[in-house]
Amino acid sequence: MLLSKSCIYGLRASLYLASHGNENYIPIRKMSDRLEISFHFLTKILQQLTAEGILESFKGPNGGVRLTKPGDQIPIMEIVLAIDGHYLLTECALGLPGCGIKKPCPLHDKWAETRDSIKEMFENTTLTELAKKGKEENLRLTEDGGFDLLFD
């Protein structure tokens, strides 16, 4: 898999948050219900994003999590980096450690090019952009549910 399950869940939750603006904290329980993700698992993932400063959390009644910045300032690459690390940006296609210009593997040149196009895609796509598109066209965010399910 390109992205780990944790990363995918983190992205889905981030899109949820971006679809709602970030004035209010949104409870993780609500998100896990709507997104059909295990509550405890999602909690752990969002704790990572909180630790990385992408989310901020608030305990107690009316608590939850929200984005620390407006979603149009958050490329999805930020979420990917926070959860899966930089492997996507640096990993050798043949799994060789430190594969680079100096000590390349035979696939290095072609793969570096392809990898850059992945990188650019993730860097040039913001949460808000996807959330907007998702809302307008009621696109999918769960196995059988669209963005409309995220709203009351």
Rule CB under 8 A: is residue 150 a binding residue for a second copy?
Answer: no
CA 62/CA 101 separation, integer angstroms: 52
Residues 9-28 contacting DNA, CB under 7 A: 9, 27-28
CA 76/CA 130 separation, integer angstroms: 9
Write the interaction track for DNA spanning residues 56-85; mark x where CB under 7 A is met and - where it is not. -xxxxxxxxx--------------------
Write the interaction track for a second copy spanning residues 117-146; mark x where CB under 8 A is met and - where it is not. xx--x---x----xx-xx----xxxxx---
Rule CB under 8 A: is residue 41 a binding residue for a second copy?
Answer: no
Rule CB under 7 A: is residue 1 a binding residue for DNA?
Answer: yes
Residue 102 contact partner, candidates DNA, a second copy, none, CB within 5 to 8 A by sort of partner:
none
Nearest to 50 by CA among 79, 15, 70: 79
CA 49/CA 40 separation, integer angstroms: 15
DSSP assignment string, 40-64: HHHHHHHHHHHHTTSEEEE-STT-E
CA 121/CA 88 separation, integer angstroms: 12
Min dist CB 48 to DNA, Å, is: 9
CA 152/CA 25 separation, integer angstroms: 15
Rule CB under 8 A: is residue 1 a binding residue for a second copy?
Answer: yes
Q: Which residues bind DNA (CB under 7 A)?
A: 1, 4-6, 9, 27-29, 38, 40-41, 43-44, 46-47, 50-51, 57-65
